[in-house]
Chains A and B, each alone.
Chain A
């Protein structure tokens, strides 16, 4: 689904990614993990073409993405912090994104799922963080694309919405989609992901199942396995 070869990215003097090689297979849930500032968001934004890499190639569904925009029809993206134009109403935003991408009716089901009906006529600037995140989720899931990228999807969600989100992600997986997730909530990652990709100091430190990680680090549970990687590497 996604192939990344020798990806380098610097912001000024700050090297964020130094030679990332990564292959994401078709279908399944992949969690991208790593400490703060390890380059998770930069990696994801490179796949989306929002960050232009200094070196390296990225292919999405067999197509080199350099200087292209059309491949994003096949990607649904949930940005980390839901920053929307504040003077737009929820309804208008959804309508606008549909107008820019393609028509869909999936939004109605998602609005019902996250109980967003009372907010449809409210301006985005007046919404709480959790409600904004729900709007964000509606926008990300309504297009039925084969690749879904979720950057910190759990931020600000209440327990009920979190359960709904997990069900939603699992349902998308059974449709054969590829889902890329970053999160700091280890229990969420452990429950939902098939495979994890651990980034450390701009390189892929580990890629494989959670079981493999536990064996590699010789730790009984996932959270400790992650912690041991971090303490072994003085992060």
Chain B
């Protein structure tokens, strides 16, 4: 697996898109720090960007990489390598190179700004950890979609729909449900609703840590009330891990049964 991971990683590191992605975060970090002139405010703005953008890039990159490397995959399948190693290696190659662009792109400007002397270092680290989780989750989901769809256009379509649903539509539906069933106790429902969407979960997680009740919203408030800050953090991390593990299992399962 590590050999495949190495080759996928190098392949991506040489591709232009990794640099574009890296440069984008570098620029974003620099601009935010100059405009805000305040580390903790910059972290909040970054959160809003990361929570929407990281899943999008993870999904698109994941699907694109899978379809682009189909020829390479077929070459590997005829070699004495396990199928699970091939696909997990490729998946980790994509997810890790994207995470690296994110961590380095944002980390460098913040370090130069004096992150290590600041108290926001933990908030910032949490932001990067959540970003990495989101990359791992959405790249895995993208690989699942690509493995199940031979047709590239369909695969891309489903991938975009998935992102649109989880990043935008889900919130709307969720809010509508809360309004419609206003008369019933909705604590549990909203808790579960938050858990079922990794994007919402990440937002709640970061806001819990930043402790900005004004931004928490209804679900966040319920979350905090139910779990408390530190237990809430642990629960959200476990749920995010489950969100990574389940799609990765399906990659292994699905790839074993597929014909090439």
Say yes or no for B259: interface residue by CB 8 A criterion: yes
Question: Are the CB atoms of B14 and A79 closer together than 8 Å?
Answer: no
Say yes or no for A188: interface residue by CB 8 A criterion: no
Number of A-B contacts (CB under 8 A): 60
In the complex, what distance in Å separates the CA atom of A72 from the CA atom of B76? 11
Docked complex: B237-257 residues within 8 A CB-CB of A: 256-257
In the complex, what distance in Å separates the CA atom of A5 from the CA atom of B195? 50
Question: Are the CB atoms of A52 and B79 closer together than 8 Å?
Answer: no
Give every chain A residue within 8 A of B70 (Cβ-Cβ). 83
Docked complex: B75-93 residues within 8 A CB-CB of A: 75-83
Docked complex: A1-41 residues within 8 A CB-CB of B: 11
Question: Are the CB atoms of B80 and A84 closer together than 8 Å?
Answer: no
Say yes or no for A205: interface residue by CB 8 A criterion: no
Question: Are the CB atoms of A69 and B259 closer together than 8 Å?
Answer: no
Question: Are the CB atoms of B78 and A77 closer together than 8 Å?
Answer: yes
Give every chain A residue within 8 A of B69 (Cβ-Cβ). 85
Among B11, B77, B82, B83, the one with the most A-chain Cβ atoms within 10 Å of its Cβ is: B77
In the complex, per-residue mask of B57-73: 1 if CB is within 8 Å of any chain A CB, else 0:
00000000000011110
Question: Are the CB atoms of B79 and A50 closer together than 8 Å?
Answer: no
Give every chain B residue within 8 A of A48 (Cβ-Cβ). 77-78
Question: Are the CB atoms of B260 and A71 closer together than 8 Å?
Answer: no
Give every chain A residue within 8 A of B258 (Cβ-Cβ). 52
Say yes or no for B227: interface residue by CB 8 A criterion: no
Closest chain B residue to A85 by CB distance? B72
In the complex, what distance in Å separates the CA atom of A97 from the CA atom of B80? 11
Say yes or no for B74: interface residue by CB 8 A criterion: yes
Say yes or no for A73: interface residue by CB 8 A criterion: yes
Task: Tell me how many residues of B have a C-beta within 8 Å of chain A.
Answer: 24
Question: Are the CB atoms of A73 and B80 closer together than 8 Å?
Answer: yes
Give every chain A residue within 8 A of B256 (Cβ-Cβ). 52, 67
In the complex, what distance in Å separates the CA atom of A51 from the CA atom of B77? 10
Question: Are the CB atoms of A85 and B76 closer together than 8 Å?
Answer: no
Nearest Cβ on chain B to A137's Cβ, whole angstroms: 14
**Which of A72, A79, A97, A100 is close to B74, meaning CB atoms less than 8 Å apart?**
A79
**Which of A45, A83, A87, A97 is close to B79, meaning CB atoms less than 8 Å apart?**
A97
Among B11, B72, B75, B82, the one with the most A-chain Cβ atoms within 10 Å of its Cβ is: B75
Give every chain A residue within 8 A of B259 (Cβ-Cβ). 11, 45, 50-52
Say yes or no for B7: interface residue by CB 8 A criterion: yes
Q: A50-B74, A85-B72, A96-B7 are in contact. Are A101 and B80 (CB under 8 A)?
A: yes
Say yes or no for A99: interface residue by CB 8 A criterion: yes
For the complex of A and B, 9 pairs with smallest distance between CB atoms: A83-B71, A72-B80, A77-B78, A85-B72, A73-B80, A51-B259, A50-B260, A69-B82, A50-B77
> What are 17 pairs between A and B in contact, CB < 8 Å?
A45-B259, A45-B260, A49-B77, A50-B259, A50-B260, A52-B257, A52-B258, A69-B81, A72-B78, A72-B79, A72-B80, A73-B80, A79-B78, A84-B72, A87-B14, A100-B81, A101-B80
Q: Which A residues lie at the B interface, using CB under 8 A?
A: 11, 45, 48-52, 67, 69-73, 75, 77, 79, 83-85, 87-88, 96-97, 99-101
